[in-house]
Amino acid sequence: MNKTSKQHWPTKDVMTQIYEKNLWGGTTFDFYSGAGSHDPKIIDPYLKVLTDFLESQNPPLVVCDLGCGDFNIGKHLTKYSKKYIAIDIVETLINRNKKLYKEDNLEFYCLDITKDELPKGDCIILRQVLQHLSNTEIQKVVKKIKHYKYVILTEHIPLGNFVPNKNIITGQGIRLKQNSGVNVLEAPLNFKIKEEKQLGEYFLENSKGRIVTMLYRVF
């Protein structure tokens, strides 16, 4: 990695370095997507509401998991989907996932969701992914996910009122220190939907915000 400032690093390089240097913790893991993907207090209620939603769909949905990470979450959801397409920008991580997780309805792809064409499907899962991206990159993603019927979006946001969508440099951190968080319905993102429903909310200890999961029906 060269010494160019982080502003100029490609997103792929930034995310690859996060895993290589264990910047989200989990030094005993080969790849670790953070406590938000491993802490049972956070993931168990999340998996319950996701499972309930996916099981309620007839016929089953084709799910695209954007930013699938170490797949500690997605591995529980494949059996409730017609097809489960798991995507991440880190090539070594995707190669690892392909070796570990093999199911007839499961596919892994290494893609940059801000630049590359996304697979066709019915439902997008974006779990604590957008919070690490700049507004410019989020806008690119928003333009693509409007073509899916459902979007299940999870974000780590402040407690109480906050100013949405303060810009950041893509990387390890999120907007919480600026008393901000991602709200795709607000400017400058302006995601257009038909309906919304809160599926879950988890309050983190020591007033470190909350993790909120929203279901959006786009059309």
The pTM assigned to this predicted structure is 0.92
Peptide linkage before 59 cis (omega within 30 of 0): yes
> Looking at the predicted structure, is the pLDDT value of residue 115 above 50?
yes
- CATH superfamily for domain 28-217: Vaccinia Virus protein VP39 (3.40.50.150)
Token pair for 89: 């920008």
Domain boundaries in the chain?
Answer: 28-217
Percent of the chain at pLDDT exceeding 70 = 96
pLDDT in tens, 161-188: 999 999 999 999 999 999 999 999 999 9
φ and ψ at residue 78, rounded to 5 degrees: -60, -40
| Mean pLDDT calculated for residue range 30-47 | 92
- Cα R_g (the chain), whole angstroms: 16
Going by C-alpha positions, the residue among 64, 86, 67 that lies closest to residue 75 is 86
Can you give the pLDDT at residue 6?
A: 45
